[in-house]
Structure 1
Amino acid sequence: MKWSEITILTTNEAVEPISNILHETGASGLVIEDPLDLEQFEGEGFGEVVELDPDDYPEEGVRIKAYLPVNSFLGETVDEIKQAINQLLLYDIDLGKNQVTISEVHEEEWATAWKKYYKPVKISNRITITPTWEDYKPVSTDELIIELDPGMAFGTGTHPTTVLSIQGLEAYVQPGDKVIDVGCGSGVLSIASVKLGAESVQAFDLDDIAVKSTTLNAKLNHAHEKVTVKQNNLLDGIEEQADVIVSNILAEIIVRFVAEAYHNLRPGGYFITAGIIQNKKQSVHDQLTEAGFDIISTSEMEDWVSIVARKPE
């Protein structure tokens, strides 16, 4: 089979929404070439990726690659992708150069080439994310391993918003907690919650591909008995009470369900938010405090922000 490689040169801010667009159109083997991945994140070195070649990365911006089967619908699919990406401008998302190019690759090249970008990554003090094909051995007795297959998931967990979310979970999830994951994507945050001792996780996403990915990854990590996955729009119609709610989605979406998150949290519960670009930090902060939350902490990594809020007892 022949495959078409679609390449989009954009910005770090646009990586996650564009990745979602590509997955929704049936793309496989997503690759994100972000020059910042070549550097260690400041502080404890979380997010360090080793054995990467600088020549594979753009000098400016972020390059996203995905693979589409060559068929009679290819032209229409590419047009749909371009239109959906341009629609992101309505959300004030900086698309950068927004250059889209197409090239043809053979199946054997597609099947192996993108795997070189994914190596085990230390995300927090205790959690390391590794692709399924890597034979990774824990380096400490309390290290927690999450296996992901990037071919079927929404990224590999190396994005700063995922790192910030998992660090927040590690800080606030207690054994026996009930967790809600809003916008579960690959399910990595749901799995991390279980690994950290959560008794149960309710994982919600409007995208059926995300629901399937979370279900598969939860089984892969032996967390499926504690993770319940459901297709749902944010917290609409959800009445379950949680000790922790985590959401790694765009700031524009977070502000839409702050009141619902407050309602679904038990007194003293924590709302961990990420996916917030710097210039949207204040609007999320204001929405949280207006709803009655106390702001507990604000963490930053590159251009991204995570805010942890607490519902008063």
Structure 2
Amino acid sequence: MNWSEICIHSTNEAVEPISNILHEAGASGVVIEDPLDLIIDRDALYGEIFELDAADYPDEGVYIKAYLPANSTLAETVAEIKEAVTSLIDHDINIGANKVTLTEVREEEWATAWKKYYKPIKISDKITITPTWEEYKPENENEVVIELDPGMAFGTGTHPTTILSIQALEKFLNENDEVIDVGCGSGVLSIASVLLGAKEVHAFDLDEIAVESTKQNAQTNDVEDKIAAKQNNLLNGIDRQVDVVVSNILAEIIVRFIDDAWKNLKQDGYFITSGIIQSKKQTVINSLESQGFQIIETNELNDWVSIVAQKK
């Protein structure tokens, strides 16, 4: 079977919703080519391993790529993707150039087309994320290694929003904390929480495939006994008292369940949010403060923002 690489030229703001559109269209993962990755002085931070070619990147905006089977329904699938991406404008999401291109990829090139993008990356003081096929040995006994299969839902967990989320978890999560992960995707934040000391994690996602991906990745990292992944719409119907609620989704969605996050947190518990673009930062802060949350800190990476709020 041959495959077609679909490439959408868009914006950082649209990465998450377009990735979800591609996933729902049948793509098992996405590739994000952001020119900002070429200029970040990453070696000064954690010494990550990168093999980047400037020719693969746009001059502005980002490329969002996925692979679809080149079969008789491809044209219909691409048309549906285009329509769904264009409709993001109705939700005040900037989709930029919104140029879509298709490139055929032969079956024998399939594995290389995916794997060339993924290498081990140290994303915080303690945590390194590595694809399952890479040989990687921790540099010291304190290093925590998460293995992910980027062929599953939502990529490799190295997007800036995920990095910000994990860095916040590393700072605010305490030994034996209970955690809720809203919109768990690949399960990377759930897995990171357990490896950082959480006693148990309740992971929720509306997408059934994401729930399965979380379960599989939890098993790969030998933490399946501490992660309960279930299909659920945000925190609708959930009634628990936990120490940390973490969510890496769009700002427009975060503001919809701030009250439910408050109800599910213990006193002095933390609500860690990410997936927020600069222009939506104040909207989220205002909503959190209106609920009664105290803003503890905000952090930024590229054009993305994370907010740590505490129930006081």
Same fold per superposition (TM over 0.5): yes
Say whether the 8 Å CA contact 2:29–2:155 is kept in structure 1: no
* Residue of structure 2 in register with 1:283 after alignment: 283
* Residue of structure 2 in register with 1:261 after alignment: 261
Q: Distance between the aligned counterparts of 1:143 and 1:55, measured in 2?
A: 33
Mapping of residues 139-158 of structure 1, within 5 Å: 139-158=139-158
Residue range with higher mean Cα deviation, 77-86 or 47-56: 47-56
Count of matched residue positions in the alignment of Structure 1 and Structure 2: 312
Amino acid at match of 1:290: S
Mapping of residues 1-313 of structure 1, within 5 Å: 1-40=1-40, 45=45, 48-312=48-312
User: 1:41 deviation in Å?
Assistant: 5.6
Amino acid at match of 1:123: I
Q: Distance between the aligned counterparts of 1:44 and 1:220, measured in 2?
A: 30
Q: Name structure 1 gaps, 5 residues minimum.
A: none
The CA RMSD measured in Å over matched residues stands at: 1.5
User: 1:44 deviation in Å?
Assistant: 5.7
User: 1:45 deviation in Å?
Assistant: 2.0
Q: Which ranges of 4 or more aligned residues in structure 1 deviate by more than 3 Å?
A: 39-44, 46-49
Say whether the 8 Å CA contact 1:244–1:269 is kept in structure 2: yes
User: 1:35 deviation in Å?
Assistant: 1.6
Say whether the 8 Å CA contact 1:41–1:47 is kept in structure 2: no
Give the SS at the match of 2:308: strand
Give the SS at the match of 1:201: strand
Change (3 A) 1:269 1:177: same
Residue range with higher mean Cα deviation, 230-239 or 112-121: 112-121
Say whether the 8 Å CA contact 1:193–1:201 is kept in structure 2: yes
TM-score computed with the length of structure 2 as normaliser: 0.96
Q: Distance between the aligned counterparts of 1:252 and 1:219, measured in 2?
A: 32
Say whether the 8 Å CA contact 2:131–2:147 is kept in structure 1: yes
Q: Distance between the aligned counterparts of 2:161 and 2:258, measured in 1?
A: 18
Q: Distance between the aligned counterparts of 2:49 and 2:99, measured in 1?
A: 26
Q: Distance between the aligned counterparts of 1:49 and 1:232, measured in 2?
A: 36
Q: Distance between the aligned counterparts of 2:188 and 2:281, measured in 1?
A: 24
Give the SS at the match of 1:117: coil
